[in-house]
Structures are given as C-alpha cells and as structure tokens.
Amino acid sequence: FASYYGDHMVLQREPAGAVVWGRGQLDTAVTVTLGGARGLVVMKKTAQVKGPSGTWTTVLDPMDQGGPYTLTAEQGLENVTLRDIYFGDVWLCSGQSNMAMTVLQVANASQELAATARYPRVRVFAAAPAHSDVELEDLERIDLPWSIPTAENLGHGNFTYFSAVCWLLGRSLYDVLGTPIGLVEAAWGGTPIEAWSSRQALQMCGLPADTARVKWEGGDPRAPLWHGAWRVKHLLCFATPLSPALSSSTSAQQQLSGPQTPSVLWNAMIHPLLNMTLRGIAWYQGEANAFLHTDWYNCTFPALIADWRRAFHTGSAGQTEPLLPFGFVQLSTYRRQSPEDSFARLRWHQTADLGVVPNARMPGTFMAVAMDLGDEHSPYGSIHPRDKENVARRLLLGARAVAYGDKDLVFQGPYPIRVVLEVTRGLLNITYSQELVCRQRDMQSFEVCCSSQVSPCRWLPAPMVAVGSRMVTLALGGCGTLVLGLRYAWAEWPCEYQSCPLYNPQGLPAPPFL
C-alpha cells in the first residue's frame, strides 16, 4: 500500500467509492480484498501493476458508513493486511501555522484533550512537512500515521500535530452526523499560497512558475509564522508593489518562516494525496500573503480551489466530486492600532473581492469569519489566537450547509444588499441581508470615501447613528454628497473579542466589505 494507508484509517463512504493504491512487481496483478466480521469477504478487486513507477490502483465499490473491516493486498505469496478500517467522511485540512496549531495550544485544551475517549470513530493522520521541486507520487514522511485520537497524539507539541481547527471541525461533524470521520492534516507554518499551488494554478493567474526563488539556511521546518527561524537569502518578487507592511519594522523574514518557492508544498504534501477520495477540504492560510503578493490573492486563491478540485477529481478516478466542498477561515487579527491595511485587503481577496461566499467566482465554498476572535496576549504571538473553538463552530455551520445540504441553516453573517444616500439629511442607509444585532455602536468601523476621484480615496469615519432590524444609518459628516466608496471593518484589528458592531441573532459577525 502507499504510505498514506494504514491500520485505523477511514475511507470515504458512499455514494463515492474509495480509491486504494500501492506499488508492486511490474506486469503482475494485485488482489485487494475487503474483509468483514468473522472473515467474511465483502468484495475483491484485481489491479494490474503498471510502469514506469510500478503502481496499481483500484476503486472499491461504494460502502455504507461503518466498520471495522480489514483490507488486504496480495501479490503472489506476499500479502499486507490493514486492520480496523472504517468507512465515513474524509476531510483534508491544510494551510499554515493557524492550521498547524495543535489541540494542546487552544484556549480549552485540557477539556478537549480529556474528551478524546468519546471519539474513537474520528481518526487522525498528519503528513510531515516536506518540500520538493518535482511532483511526488507518495509522501516522503509521515508525522502521525492513522490513529485513534488520544491526548498524546492530539497534543503532541506546539505547531506539530494534531491540528486543533481540523480536530474541532471533525469531532463536531461526528457529533452532528454520527458517521466515522477521517482527518488528514497537511500544514506548514509561515507559507504563502504560491507554495501550495501547482504550476498550472499559478499560470491561471498569469504567473510564471518560477516567480520566486528562495534559499533557506537552517531552522525548524515546523517553525510558526512569527518565529522567523528560517532566513530568506534571496527573494525575487513579482513585478508589482509589495504590501507596505513588507518594508515596515516587521520584517518579511519574521512573517515568512516556511518555504516560499512556488509549488514546492503542492509537490510534496498535496500531490501525493490526489488518489484519495475526499468529502471536503478545510483551509486556514493567508497571513503570509498579507506580507507577500497580497493583491494577487484574489486570483491565486480561487485558482488554487479550482485546481485542487480538478486534481482530486481526476486523481480519484472521478470519485471525489468535481465541486468538492472547500471551507476556509478568513484572517483573524495581528497588530492592534496598526495603520497597515494588508490584512484587510487579504480578507477581501479571500472572497475574490465579493465579500461573501459562496459566490460566482468561488462556488461550493464556505467561510468562517474570525476578525472578532483576536488574542493580543496569546503566548504564541497575537497572530495565533487561541480561540479555535469558535473558528471550528463557524466552519461547521458552513460545512453542514454547503457540503451536507442543510438548506435551513444560517451559516453566514449579515451582508449589505442595498445602500441609499439621503442627500438632504447627509445620511447613508445600508440594508442588510439578515436581522441585525448591534453589540457596539462603533464610531470608526464604517468609513466613506470622500475624494473627488476614486483613487486615492480620502477615507473618513461614518458614525452609526441608528441600527434597525435590518438597516444601519450612517452620518456622513464632512463628506457632503460626494460618496464614492464605503467600507466596513477595514483594519488589521477591526474589533475587540466577539464585539464587532454587527452580528446576526445566531451570533455570526457581519463580514468586512469594501
């Protein structure tokens, strides 16, 4: 079997068929047997070993949820048997250090770790950090082979395994669905989206595959984004201006601690998994791109989503659905009172500049807003907030609605659908998509562009003077009748913990917009 397979694993349940593959002696047949209780043969498949890499692949018939099963591969007199196999839903979790933060590091760590015994049907697997200049067929190393969760393997150490966001989402899915859940972590702190993108995805945005060349010296490959344990020796950037923050006192090398070279993480950590049949993907990445190629993200992120979907669908012989559900976390906060707007721009670009998902450019996606979950005193740096429980709760709502079709579930915060200018009164009325709950009458969160030309804008605060059931009224003050733009929560640290101005009755914050 390929290195991804092992005892205790979860394979994707019906309606899809799980893909099984491995290596064998060329031009021979491999028999794959799925066994049930008391040696019952559930199914047999035969696969031919083909060159030049000597691999075999077979697709199992769709299986209902449950287990345990055995999975045996035989070639001649040799055989390998995997035990305690379950069928359920398999989710891939990827990104940078906020995805790599382990259960040990979150706010309610002791409670979470103590509860692991309640989830023997949620299985976890973690690929080791690795990079490659060429696409690999199999994982080079594994940090955590398929395992039943324990306090030890969920809280192995800081930024190692197992991902808190991934675990909290997975065990919440189990609570709701009752089906076995398989969680696969492939994350590396301090890495930009270009490293996770294939050459084809970068070319979709008109970017050459060798846009950046980076040489690293020493350091820990698991170092989180803020450690700066890896040094950039040479970095040739895109021929566009970088974020102003890149030249600020916070240096690039502090924010970019993992590999930056295009496609090297796609090659080593994602490409080897393409034969998997997946139910969905959870993604938490973007902090690095607030300091590198920020304004490419409105293309590179939708391109990555489309490319991963295509690749997993093709790699699984069509078993992973073409519109694979893709959930992500919108950036949280970093520096209070920072004048930079790169985090705000990146949040906007995470939605392909449309503010809310799913949308026409990003179908089948869902987003957890996290700008109200800041953690200035996090021992891991303020860029790593410890409240991952609310992040996972918001991801869960999106997964239930988008991936599992719960049409009656509210999974997005309120979003503006209409803006009317009352010229004579100097007011701006914003109608929202949902009922509003005002937690704070903020004087700074809304801003209007009052310039005589769109760029550069002269942004002035527009205080909230009234909040109705679905309408917010702003005072334009010195802006007069010339309003060319409107934005909300456009800051690196836009609001205090769970205290943004606007939420819906379900407690979901209104997302930022421009």
Q: What is the pLDDT of residue 228?
A: 28
Angle between helix 342-349 and helix 297-315 axes, rounded to 10 deg: 40
> In whole angstroms, how far apart are CA 229 and each of 36, 103, 378, 396?
49, 23, 19, 34
Instruction: Give me the mean pLDDT over the 151-170 stretch.
Output: 95
Q: What is the pLDDT of residue 480?
A: 63
Instruction: Give me the mean pLDDT over the 30-53 stretch.
Output: 93
Tokens of 415: 């979003």
Q: Lowest-pLDDT range, 156-165, 217-226, 278-287?
A: 217-226
Tell me what percent of the residues of the chain surpass a pLDDT of 90. 81
Q: Lowest-pLDDT range, 11-25, 313-327, 341-355, 448-462?
A: 448-462
Residue 225 has pLDDT above 50, yes or no: no
Q: First CA to last CA across the chain, in angstroms? A: 50
Name the residue type at position 335: R
Q: Where are the domains of the chain?
A: 10-85, 87-207+257-404, 416-509
Q: What is the pLDDT of residue 483?
A: 84
The CATH number assigned to the domain with range 10-85 reads: 2.60.40.10
Distance CA 408, CA 411 (A): 9
CB 312 within 8 A of CB 318: no
Q: What is the maximum span of the chain, computed from C-alpha positions, in angstroms?
A: 88
Q: Is 295 exposed, middle or buried (0-12, 13-18, 19+ CB in 10 A)?
A: middle
CB 31 within 8 A of CB 78: no
Place of tokens 């979003």: 415
Distance CA 478, CA 488 (A): 18
Tokens of 446: 């809304």
Residue 229 has pLDDT above 70, yes or no: no
Which letter, b or e, does each residue of 349-384 get, where b requires 16 or more Cβ atoms within 10 Å of its Cβ?
bbbbbebbbbeebbebbbbbbbbbbbbeebebebbb
Per-residue model confidence as pLDDT tens digits over 144-157:
999 999 999 999 99
Tokens of 112: 């979470």
Secondary structure class of 39 (helix, strand, coil): helix
Q: What is the pLDDT of residue 255?
A: 63
Per-residue model confidence as pLDDT tens digits over 407-444:
999 999 999 999 999 988 989 999 999 999 999 887 78
Residue 239 has pLDDT above 70, yes or no: no
Q: How many residues does the chain have?
A: 514
CB 277 within 8 A of CB 212: no
Q: Give the other-Cβ count within 10 Å of 478's Cβ.
A: 9
Q: What is the pLDDT of residue 210?
A: 63
Tokens of 66: 């449950």
The reply to whether omega before 501 is within 30° of 0 (cis) is no
Q: Which residues pair with 420 in a beta bridge?
A: 429
Distance CA 376, CA 354 (A): 29
Whole-structure pTM value: 0.91
Distance CA 294, CA 292 (A): 5
Is the domain covering 87-207+257-404 a CATH 3.40.50.1110 domain? yes
